[in-house]
Amino acid sequence: MRGLIDTIKNIWKIEDLRQRILFTLGILLIYRLGSFIVLPGIDPGQLDALQQQTSGGVLGLLNMFSGGAFARASIFSLGIMPYISASIVVQLLGIAVPYFQRLQREGESGRRKINQITRYLTVAILIVQAPGYLKNLQVQLPETAFVMGSTTFFYVSSVIILTAGSMFIMWLGERITDRGIGNGISLIIMIGIIARLPYALFAEFASRLEETGGGLVAFLVEMIILFFVFMGVILLVQGTRKIPVQYAKRIVGNKQYGGVRQYIPLKVNSAGVMPIIFAQALMFVPITIAGFAESDALTGFAAAFSNLTGFWYNFTFATMVILFTYFYTAITINPSQMAEDMKKNGGFIPGVKPGRKTVEFLDRIMSRITFPGSLFLALIAIMPSFAMMAGISNQWAQFYGGTSLLILVGVVLDTLQQIESHLLMRHYDGLMKTGRIKGRTGGASVI
pLDDT in tens, 289-312: 666 655 455 556 666 667 778 888
CA distance 248 to 306: 41
pLDDT of residue 152: 86
Better pLDDT: 59 or 321:
321
In a domain, 446, yes or no: no
Mean pLDDT across 36-49: 88
| Distance from C-alpha of 200 to C-alpha of 195, rounded to nearest angstrom | 10
Return d(Cα 228, Cα 239) in angstroms, integer.
17
Distance (Å, whole) CA 323 – CA 271: 11
Considering the chain, what percentage of its residues have pLDDT values greater than 70? 80
Which residue did the predictor score with more confidence, 58 or 225? Answer: 225
Q: Looking at the 3D structure of the chain, how many domains does it have? A: 1
- Contact predicate 420/2, CB 8 Å: no
pLDDT at 16 over 50: yes
Could you tell me if residue 442 is inside a domain? no
Q: Residue 304's domain is classified under what CATH number? A: 1.10.3370.10
The answer, yes or no, to whether residue 190 has pLDDT greater than 80, is yes
For residue 264, list its beta bridge partners: 243
Query: With 70 as the cut, is the pLDDT of residue 275 above it?
Result: yes
- Residue 24 inside a domain? The answer is yes
Per-residue model confidence (pLDDT) at position 121: 93
Residue predicted with more confidence, 161 or 228: 161
Domain range holding 43?
A: 2-425
pLDDT value of position 301: 62
Q: Which of 80-84, 147-151, 206-210, 438-442 comes out lowest in average pLDDT? A: 438-442
Higher pLDDT, 166 or 93: 166
76 within domain boundaries: yes
Per-residue pLDDT for 108 more than 90? no
Average pLDDT, the chain: 78
Q: Is 46 exposed, middle or buried (0-12, 13-18, 19+ CB in 10 A)?
A: middle
Model confidence at 231: pLDDT above 50: yes
Q: Is residue 33 part of a domain?
A: yes
Q: pLDDT for 324-379, tens place per residue?
A: 888 888 777 777 877 777 777 776 777 777 778 888 888 888 888 888 888 888 88
Please check whether residue 437 lies inside any domain of the structure.
Answer: no
| Residue 412 domain-assigned (yes or no) | yes
CA-to-CA separations, 20 to 8, 17, 181, 184, 413, in angstroms, rounded = 14, 5, 6, 12, 17
- The whole-model pTM stands at 0.78
> What pLDDT is stored for residue 1 in this prediction?
55
Cα dihedral 279, 283, 289, 294, rounded to 10, equals -160
Task: Note whether residue 361 is domain-resident.
Answer: yes
Radius of gyration of the chain (CA): 24
- Reply yes or no on whether the pLDDT at 260 is more than 80: no
For 45-49, 251-255, 392-396, which range has the lowest pLDDT when averaged over its residues? Answer: 251-255
User: Rounded to an integer, what distance in angstroms lies between the CA atom of residue 219 and that of residue 83?
Assistant: 37
CB 118 within 8 A of CB 86: yes
**Residues whose CB falls within 8 Å of the CB of residue 350, separated by 6 or more in sequence, listed in order:** 245, 257, 258, 260, 262
